[in-house]
Amino acid sequence: MREYGLLGSNILDSDFSFEIKIKEGAGAFVCGEETALIGSIEGKRGMPRSRPPFPAIAGLFGSPTIINNVETLGTLPNILRNGPDWYTRFGKEGNRGTKTFSLVGKIRRPGLIEVQLGTTLREIIFDIGGGVQKPFKAIQTGGPSGGCLSEEFLDLTVDYESLASAGSIMGSGGLIVMDEDTCIVDLAKYFLDFTQKESCGKCVPCRVGTKHILEILQRITEGEGSPDDLLALRTLGDTIKKGALCGLGQTAPNPVLTTLRYFRNEYLEHIKDHTCRATVCKSLIEYRVIKEKCTGCQSCVRVCPTGAITGPRSEPHNLDASKCIKCRSCYEICRYDAIAGDAIVIRTAERQS
């Protein structure tokens, strides 16, 4: 653009000058927070700063600064070209226009979509997304800062207020669909693990609080949870939400708080029954060969990475649990329903064709 005189001083010989400088981030989720972003551009550690003063008053290099996402800036040309009335046709009151989403997970047609704000989750998942193969369990919106919504929210409209009132957020538009093969406690643990790694470490509630939450979730997924843990999770979540310095910390408890609210039973199953109904939490499941069904085809023997399954051709195989790393390879390759993964009560895993 510079070569053509479309950027820089006195563009096309007018008295309008405009400069663009591109700076690459260096790998820190927290730098999505505006003051941390400013810090990163200034060549410092990406640690958020207290406000006031707000960036509009004193931001980058101490100067007044406006900060916008690329998505926002990307909609501007269309609005300017087609006019505001064209744009406000889409969406609903207070939530005009469209939003892009990344619709992924256990869905038939994952990909990037753009819908009007106010579209229902049901329409997005089952119409646009082509629906799910196994029974629907939950949808996670807003990434690690968002929440998990259960089946009862399928008719929720996708807009800022509705999502917030359900305990989640819009965020940058992540929509992850989950089915019965996703353990909700493991998912909460996964998000907290992420937030812990990405926390800048400046403020106590986020740095230390998320560590405790993660530790509790770890124990629960290992079958070492206790009923007190649920209250502890709520208290910690509350403290972090109120006390954290920036948005990363303030929204970090959302996955835990929403899953506690909408999937409480799954937590209790892990704690009281030592069961992981999605057969994900490795400490709570065990793989074994169902001898009656095994034909000795050796498919599983070939794929097992640790050699835990042994046995000659045409004879039921043996699975040495001590070597099993629960990678699911055998389960997925077995054509005869002969591998079962379970908690303490052994049950046969179902396979959908």
Partner 1 sequence: MPEQIRRILGKHGRSPDELIPILQDVQAAFGYIGEESVKAISRYLRISENQIYGVSSFYAQFRFTEPGRHGIKVCLGTACHVRGGGTLLDMLERGLDIHCGETTEDKRYDLDRVACLGCCALSPVVQIDRDIYSRMTVNKLTELLKNYE
Partner 2 sequence: MTKEKKVSITIDNRKVEAKAKTTILQAARDNNIDIPSLCALEHLPSYGACRLCVVEVDGIRGFPTSCTTPVEDGMVIRTDTAEVRTLRQEVLKLLLSEHPASCLFCEEQTDCKNFQGTIRKVGVTTGCRYCPNDDMCELQEVTKKVGLTETSYPVYYRNFPVEKEDPFYDRDYNLCLLCGRCVRVCNDVRLNGTLSFKQRGKMTTIGPAFGRSHLEAGCEFCGACVAVCPTGALSAKASKWSGKPDEVVESTCPYCPIGCTLDLKVKAGEVVDVSADYDSPTEHGLICVKGRFAIPEYVLSPDRLARPTILKPEGYDFLPWEEALDEAAAKLKAAGPKNTFVVVSPQLSNEDLFVAQRFAREVIGTEAILSSVIFDLGSDLRSFVDLVVMSEQIDTIEETKGILTIGLDTTYGFTPLGIAVKKAAKKGAILVTVSEHECNLDMLSEEAFQSDAAKWPEFMDGIMKSMSGNGTRKSKAAAPLFKKGDRNVVIIGPDAVFSGKRKEIFERVLAMRDNLGWKVIVCHPYTNLMGMLAMGALPGLKPGGLKSDGVLKLKDPAGVVDLKQNRKVGYFIGEAPSPEMPKCEYLIYENALPAPSGFDPNLILPAGLFTESPGTTISSEGKILTFNRASAPFAESKPDWWIISGIAARMKKGALKYSSLAAIQSEIKKSIPGFSGKERRVPRKKVVMEGKAAAAGNPFGPCRDAAAPAAFRGVPLHDHVAGMKAIEERRHK
Contact string (CB under 8 A) for partner 1, positions 329-348, x = contact:
x-------------------
Confirm or reject binding of residue 305 to partner 1 (CB under 8 A). yes
Please name the residues in contact with 108: beta carbons below 8 A apart, sequence gap of 6 or more.
Answer: 129, 130, 131, 132, 133
Contact string (CB under 8 A) for partner 1, positions 110-149, x = contact:
xxx---------------------------x--xx-----
Confirm or reject binding of residue 40 to partner 1 (CB under 8 A). yes
Q: In Å, what is the CA distance from 262 to each residue of 54, 267, 269?
A: 36, 10, 14
| Largest CA-CA distance found in the chain, in angstroms, rounded | 85
- Give the integer Cα–Cα distance in Å for 254 and 147: 5
- Pairing of β 98-105 and β 174-179: parallel
Show contacts with partner 2 in window 234-293 (CB under 8 A). Answer: 235, 238-239, 242-245, 250
Handedness of CA 156, 157, 161, 164 (dihedral sign): positive
Instruction: Indicate the residue among 118 and 146 with the shorter CB distance to partner 1.
Output: 146
Shortest distance (Å) from residue 205 CB to partner 2: 6
Q: Where are the beta strands (DSSP E) in 42-96?
A: 91-92, 95-96
Residue 293's binding partner out of partner 2, partner 1, none, with CB under 5 to 8 Å set by partner kind: none
Helix axes 184-198, 210-221, angle to 10 degrees: 150
Shortest distance (Å) from residue 271 CB to partner 2: 18
Count of residues interacting with partner 1 (CB under 8 A)? 43
- Locus of tokens 């049950």: 347
Show contacts with partner 2 in window 11-30 (CB under 8 A). Answer: 28, 30
Shortest distance (Å) from residue 260 CB to partner 2: 18
- Give the integer Cα–Cα distance in Å for 106 and 113: 16
Contact string (CB under 8 A) for partner 2, positions 141-180, x = contact:
----------------------------------------
For residue 349, the 8-state DSSP code is: P
For residue 123, the 8-state DSSP code is: I
Residue 106's binding partner out of partner 2, partner 1, none, with CB under 5 to 8 Å set by partner kind: partner 1
Confirm or reject binding of residue 49 to partner 1 (CB under 8 A). no
Shortest distance (Å) from residue 111 CB to partner 2: 32
Show contacts with partner 1 in window 59-118 (CB under 8 A). Answer: 61, 102, 104-106, 110-112
- Locus of tokens 């369990």: 137
- Give the integer Cα–Cα distance in Å for 147 and 139: 8
Confirm or reject binding of residue 192 to partner 2 (CB under 8 A). no
Please name the residues in contact with 303: beta carbons below 8 A apart, sequence gap of 6 or more.
Answer: 329, 330, 333
- From the list 3, 15, 19, 24, which residue makes contact with partner 1 (rule: CB under 8 A)? 24
Question: How remote is the C-alpha of 36 from its chain's centroid?
Answer: 21
Q: Where are the alpha helices (DSSP H) in 252-328?
A: 254-262, 264-268, 299-303
- Give the integer Cα–Cα distance in Å for 137 and 177: 8
Confirm or reject binding of residue 297 to partner 1 (CB under 8 A). no
Of 83-91, 119-127, 179-187, 208-216, the window that binds partner 2 (rule: CB under 8 A) is: 208-216
Confirm or reject binding of residue 46 to partner 1 (CB under 8 A). yes
- Give the integer Cα–Cα distance in Å for 266 and 273: 10
Give the footprint of partner 1 on this chain (CB under 8 A): 23-29, 40-47, 61, 102, 104-106, 110-112, 140, 143-144, 174, 176, 178, 182, 187, 190-191, 194, 198, 200, 303, 305-306, 325, 327-329
> Can you give the binding site for partner 2, defined by CB under 8 A?
28, 30, 45, 49-50, 52-53, 196-205, 207-209, 211-212, 215, 232, 235, 238-239, 242-245, 250
